[in-house]
Amino acid sequence: MGFNQRVLKRLPFDPNPTTRQYQREVCQSVLDYRVTVVFSGNSTGKDYLLGCLIPWWGFTRPNSLTMVTGVSQTLLGSVTFKEVRRAISGSPVLRQLGVKMSQGVKASPQLVEFGPGWHVLGFSTTNVERASGQHSPELFAVINEGSGVDDHIYDAVDSWVYKRLLVFGNPIRADGRFIELIRQAEADRRDGVPKHLAVNAIQIPSTDSPHAHLDHSPFGLADRTWLESMYRQYGPDSLWVRSHIKAEVPVVSSDALLPEAWLDWAACDENGQRVRPLAHPVTATRRISCDLGEGVGRDSSCVLVRDEWGILDVVFGSALGLPEAADLIYQKALAWNVPPNRITYDRAGIGRDFPLHLRRNFGDVARQIQGYAGAGSPQSKDFANLRTEAAWRLRQRLEPGADLHGSSVDRFALRLKVPFGIPRGPYWPRLREELKTLSYSMAGRKIKLLPKADHAILLGHSPDIGDALMQSFAFP
């Protein structure tokens, strides 16, 4: 701690004695234990801490070597080593020592040089093999975003014969070396393994941030505004919140997208049979979506009509070819007064030829009908693809009692906050089965929905009705 303030001339990690001093815990653990693994939530000041620990090791151990690796060279340069450069540049002592630093964000390796053979190297995991042959009796190894690092990279790091290893990461997976280190720490503590040989694990939820009680953090740490926003966006007990805020080690790597209780609530008489008053503003939120099936076996095409209050009409069947589906969309658009710019269809696969059939019914305005590709780019970087983002919007809309403020559903949901209704029509048993078996997982920092092909194998048929419903949430 003295190094951070006396040598680097930086603000103390947390001057408030009433809050948890978790950054001090990590520093003490690096002093005491051979391996320290930190599983944390987002925005807890990890890189600010590394901005102290990395130069501290080098400065206090002449001719030492620090090796830092992470999943992205750009992130290492623009985040982790940015803090290192900032810390060293602000230190009169280190400036007088003549410490040299690489300046480019994409420099590979990132370099801090205290003197000949006395330095810090930063490699992405794709280039970690370049670090082979680097050895020192005072080697400090750092792995950033350790939960996303493949096991063979950990094997490469082990070959460095480090004196200390520090690993940071969100616990986004139920397996892998990162989780094994956390389990090893439990075993070492239980078995009384000496600290200089042991692994120590430190859990830091985002709610332990010293600014968790503030509306706005002056340093970009987790604050009340961000926490409440994430609870609304992902759900307070979602896999994302458990991994990225609560820092809980997952028991399984995936979670159900829609609990069965949510589906049954949507389909109860109170919600599923809701009557729309004539000329009510909710009529302006009507839209039509079409999932096109191959018409083979139990695979079907589906045309679905909904508004912001729920599903209005569903027609599905294996006999719906491209001409029949286009004609049905046209009929439903007339019957429900849905404009072409609020109609979507699955443009992947056989959908490539669907615009020809739509033009036969809609004429030139068919150009306003929007093609949807589940593998397409999402609007938010939090999701792996557009299908996942659409599914998440459906989840947000179906969550009972959800506060929809700030969500990405249609504007009328914000105003009306009416539970989403699913009438128990002939399609309901199949739709319920398709939705209840949907799961999602964390792919790095992104949410990823169970792929449609894998979902179809699980069901024994293509999830056409469920995908049509999700598709209807893909666009504003």
Q: Range with the lowest mean pLDDT among 22-31, 326-335, 400-409, 460-469?
A: 400-409
Cα–Cα–Cα angle for 26, 58, 125, rounded to 5 degrees: 70
Task: Between 390 and 414, name the one with better pLDDT.
Answer: 390
Alpha-helical segments (H) within 68-132: 73-75, 81-89, 92-97
- Which whole number is the average pLDDT over 336-347? 98
Is there a cis peptide before residue 116, judged by omega within 30 degrees of 0?
no
Residue partners of 117: CB distance under 8 A and separation at least 6: 63
State the pTM of this model: 0.75
Q: pLDDT, tens digit, for every residue of 436-455?
A: 999 999 887 789 999 999 99
- Assess contact for 473 and 397: CB atoms under 8 A: yes
Quick one: pLDDT band at residue 406, thresholds 50, 70, 90? very low
What average pLDDT is seen over the chain? Answer: 91
- Residue 460 has a pLDDT of 93
- Assess contact for 233 and 396: CB atoms under 8 A: yes
Q: Which of 53, 58, 65, 62 is nearest to 24 (CA)?
A: 53
Q: Range with the lowest mean pLDDT among 216-225, 245-254, 261-270?
A: 245-254
Quote the distance between the C-alpha of residue 63 and its chain's center: 40
Q: pLDDT, tens digit, for every residue of 111-147?
A: 999 999 999 999 998 877 666 667 899 999 999 999 9
Q: pLDDT, tens digit, for every residue of 173-209?
A: 888 999 999 999 999 999 999 999 999 999 999 999 9
Q: Which of 268, 238, 232 is nearest to 250 (CA)?
A: 238
- Assess contact for 334 and 359: CB atoms under 8 A: no
Q: Is the dihedral of CA 86, 91, 92, 97 positive or negative?
A: negative
Q: Any idea which fold 2-209 has? A: Rossmann fold (3.40.50)
Q: How many Cβ atoms are within 10 Å of 16's Cβ, its own excluded?
A: 10
**Residue spans in the chain of domains classed CATH 3.40.50.300:** 2-209
For the domain made up of 254-471, the CATH class stated in words is alpha beta
Q: Is 116 exposed, middle or buried (0-12, 13-18, 19+ CB in 10 A)?
A: exposed
Q: Range with the lowest mean pLDDT among 170-179, 231-240, 346-355, 402-411?
A: 402-411
Q: Range with the lowest mean pLDDT among 36-50, 378-392, 395-409, 451-465?
A: 395-409
Statement: residue 18 has pLDDT above 70: yes
**Residue spans in the chain of domains classed CATH 3.30.420.240:** 254-471
Tokens of 457: 């194998």
Q: What's the rounded Cα separation, in Å, for the pair 94 and 8?
A: 8
Q: How many Cβ atoms are within 10 Å of 336's Cβ, its own excluded?
A: 17
Q: How many Cβ atoms are within 10 Å of 151's Cβ, its own excluded?
A: 11
